[in-house]
Chains A and B, each alone.
Chain A
Amino acid sequence: MNLARWRTYRWQLVAGEAFDPGMQMALDEVLTRRVGAGQRPPTLRFWEWTAPAVVIGRFQSLRNEVDLEEAARHGITVVRRITGGGAMLTEPGKVITYSIYAPLELVADLSFQESYAFLDAWVVEALRALGIDAWYQPINDITSAQGKIGGAAQARRFGAVLHHTTMAYDIDPAKVPRVIRIGREKLSDKGIRSAERRVAPLRQQTELPREAIQEHLIRTFAERHGLEEGGLLRDELEEARELVRTKYGTWEWTAILP
């Protein structure tokens, strides 16, 4: 089902190199633009982080979401992404994050809600093959019987669709509320399901190291959709560095909604 749709494209894999939080945001914009302009094949990028970060959604209020003093005390960089959704905490080696950059036609006839589940279906399949009882919980969560594993965010921008997902591998759930504020209203319809809603990092659910899970995800994508080894071009990296300087590394952008 729907596999033919993926197979319309020759997918390229970008993985391995670690970047700081600002570069991660900038690379998402650069690669989305390139795919939208037909200058790069549809791409799957796995992220490696050089430093911990709180990544907030495009429409969130910086101060409502993040305790900036607490973040600074822990050496956590705060950045804002171009997609909506909620704040998340990432640390090197403790999350699995990937982005899909695809032509709009891949999801053109799907609603936004449908396209979330569609673009993460290979991940749910891969996790289940590892014995993790995972499923997609609309709008944008990958969850399991033991709790939430991760969340996705999406933007249709620059002639392409950007879909990125972060899954907790070994994030300490107790650390999150120290830097990310979670209001009472946000939990209002989650009260009775609070046990189900707790975060259940992958490490609690499998013996496998992070790298092995990531390799399994890549293999699953390759088998399902086809995937060729690739890499970032020098001018893509230069464009991203420039975007960190002019946008993603600036207070103007991070505090665009103070």
Chain B
Amino acid sequence: MLHGEYKTPGGKLVQVDFELAGDRLTNVRVTGDFFLEPPEALDTIARALEGAPASLEEGELAARITQALEAFDRVELLGFSAEAVARAVRRALAP
């Protein structure tokens, strides 16, 4: 199980836990003390990372999350961002 954390300056902490199946992320979990509306968007963020190649750069990981969140009419991330989640993932992979 890999674990990574990133705290947005002036914002909140994001924690990611996942495993690697070959070179892909699996069983991804995203948690933290951030604010998110609607709450269902948390699953969407985690699912966006499921199956992502471990070789992806931070920007590519963030783009996957941003794209998945477009399914919502209105989604608000407060105290964190798609980039913050992506950075926590990169930190887990290259501690």
Contacts and interface: CB of A to CB of B under 8 A. Distances in A.
B7 interface: yes
Given A59-B32, A59-B33, A139-B35, A189 B9 contact: yes
A84 B36 contact: yes
Q: Which bracket fits the contact residues of B?
A: 20 to 34
A121 interface: no
Nearest to B11: A139
A60 B31 contact: yes
Interface string A64-92: 10000000000000000011111100000
Given A83-B35, A84-B33, A257-B31, A139 B15 contact: no
A189 B79 CA distance: 13
Interface of B: 5-7, 9-13, 15, 17, 29-39, 42, 76, 78-79
Top 10 nearest A-B pairs (CB, nearest first) are A86-B33, A84-B35, A61-B31, A185-B5, A189-B9, A186-B13, A112-B78, A257-B31, A185-B7, A112-B76
Is the contact region of chain A dominated by helix, strand, or loop, or is it mixed? Answer: loop
A107 B13 CA distance: 26
Given A188-B7, A189-B7, A154 B31 contact: no
Nearest to B45: A59
Nearest to B13: A186
A64 B13 CA distance: 12
A57 interface: yes
Interface in A92-120: 112-113
* Most chain A CB neighbours (cut-off 10 Å) among B9, B15, B33, B79: B33
Interface of A: 57-61, 64, 82-87, 112-113, 138-140, 153-157, 183, 185-186, 188-189, 257
Given A183-B13, A186-B13, A64 B31 contact: yes
Contact of B39 (A59, A86, A87, A113): A59
Given A84-B39, A87-B33, 11 more contacts: A57-B33, A58-B36, A59-B30, A64-B31, A82-B39, A112-B37, A112-B76, A139-B10, A139-B35, A153-B35, A154-B35
Contact of A60 (B7, B32, B39): B32
Nearest to B6: A185
Given A112-B37, A183-B5, A185-B7, A139 B79 contact: yes
